Amino acid sequence: MEDSLTIAKEALAAAENANFVANNLWMLMSTVLVFIMHLGFAALESGFVQRKNVVNILFKNIMVVSIGILTYYFIGFNLMYPGVEGGVIAFGGFGLRTMEGAGDLIEYANGQYSYYTDFIFQGMFAATCCTIVSGAVAERVKLLPFLIFCVFFVSISYPITGYWKWGSGWLDAKGFYDFAGSTLVHSVGGWGALAGAILVGPRLGKYTKKGIVPITGHSMPLATVGVFLLWFGWFGFNGGSVLSADPKMVSLVFVTTSIAAAAGCIGAFIVSKLVYKSYDLGMALNGILGGLVGVTASADGVSVVDALLIGLIAGAIIPLSISFFDKMKIDDPVGATSVHLVCGIWGTIAVALFGDYDDGIGTLGIQLLGVGVVGLFTFSFAFLVFFLLKITVGIRVDKEEEMIGLDIGEHQAVAYS
C-alpha cells in the first residue's frame, strides 16, 4: 500500500514538473516573440521617417530597449509587482532577489513559470512604451533629452499604472480588466506620445497657410516588413499573457488576435478609400496595428466574431483619428497616437461591450474609469517630464539641424551610402 502511494506521489510530482516546464518554456518563447516586436517597431518607424533621419530613429529604438530592460530591473519590476494588494503605489525594493530553491521556481506563480521568467517577460512589455513615444516625436526631438524622458517613463510612470491592475492594485480590486495591455501598455505609450508631440511641435513645413503638406516616409517596403514583424510578435504579446501554455486559451488568443488584425486592415482600407479617395498603404498598415491594439484588452474573453468587429472598428478609426490630429496640428509621423492611444481606448471599452467576464468584471463604468485615471496620470507625468526638459536643456533640434537631418546633426552618419 505504501509503495502504491509512493508511486502515485512520484507520478503526480513528475506530472506537475512537466506542466511547469511546458508553461515556463511557452512564457520564454513568448518573451522572445515580444522582443522581436522591437525589431518590428524599428523597421516600421524607419520606413515612415525621411531618409535623413533613419540612423536617429534606429538609435532611439536600440536605446529604448536597453534603457527599458535596465530601468525595469532596477526599479520598475518592484514598483509594478510590489506584493501589496489594493494599493495606489508601493515598492518592493531595488533589483531582483537571488534564486532560492523551489520558491522561485515551481512554487512561484502557481507553478506556471519561474521568477526570472516573470521578470524578463514583463520587462519586454515595459520597453514597448517608449518605443511608441519615439515614433510620435521622430525627426525633430533631441536624442539625449528623449532618452532621459524614457528613463523616468519606464522606471516610474509605466510600472505605477501597471500595478493598479496587473500588480493587484486598486483598479484590479474594482474589477477593471485589460488582458494584455490595450490601456496599460498601448494607451500609456500613446498618452506619452501625445504629450511629447504637443510639446515638441510639428515638423517644419508640415502645416502651412495653404494647408497640410504630406511628409512621406522614405521606405514603405521597410514599414511593411515592420508591421508583419509586429503581427508575428503579437502572438507572444497576447498569447504569452495567458500566463501558461493552456492549449485551449492560447489557441483562442491566437485566433482572436489574427482575426482582429485582418479586420483592422479591411476597416482602414475601406474608410481611407472613402475619406482620401485612394488606396493608402500606410493607412492599411496602421489598420492592422489598430486591430491588434484593439483586441489586446479582450483577446481571451471574446468570440471570433466579436474580435472581427473590434478589429474592424479599430481599423476604421485610424484614418479618422489621423485626420483629426492633423487638423489639431499635432504632428505624428508614424500615427502612434491614433494606433496606440485611440485604438487602445477603444479596445478597453470594447471589453465591456463584447467581453464575456463574470462578477461585474470589465463593466462599462469601471472600464471608463480605468481609461480616465490611467490617461490622466500618464499624460500629466509625461507632459511634466517633457516640459521640464524643454525649459532646461530643450527638447527640439534647431532649424538647421532639422533641415539637414538628425542623422548628420546628432550622429554624423547616414543610413545609406
Residue 17 has pLDDT above 90, yes or no: no
**H helix intervals, 240-280:** 247-276
pTM of this prediction exceeds 0.85: yes
**Count of CB atoms within 10 A of residue 324's CB?**
14
pLDDT digits (tens, 9 = 90+) for 149-188: 999 999 999 999 999 999 999 999 999 999 999 999 999 9
Q: What is the CA radius of gyration of the chain?
A: 22
Nearest to 71 by CA among 161, 4, 150, 142: 150
Q: Cell 463574470 maps to which residue?
A: 358
Cα 232 to Cα 30, 38, 132, 239, distances in angstroms:
11, 11, 18, 11
Residue in the structure block whose three cell numbers are 537571488: 98
At 258, is the pLDDT very low, low, confident or very high (cuts 50, 70, 90)?
very high
For residue 126, give the C-alpha cell. 515595459
Encode pLDDT of 28-53 as tens digits: 999 999 999 999 999 999 999 999 99
| Spatial contact of 351 and 301, defined as CB atoms under 8 Å apart | yes
Structural domains of the chain ordered from first start: 2-82+95-411 (1.10.3430.10)
Q: φ and ψ at 212, to 5 degrees?
A: -85, 125
| Cβ neighbours for 366, distance < 8 A, ≥ 6 positions apart | 171, 174, 175, 176, 177, 352, 360
Rounded Cα distance, 259 and 304, in Å = 7
CA-CA distance, 366 to 360, in Å (whole number)? 9
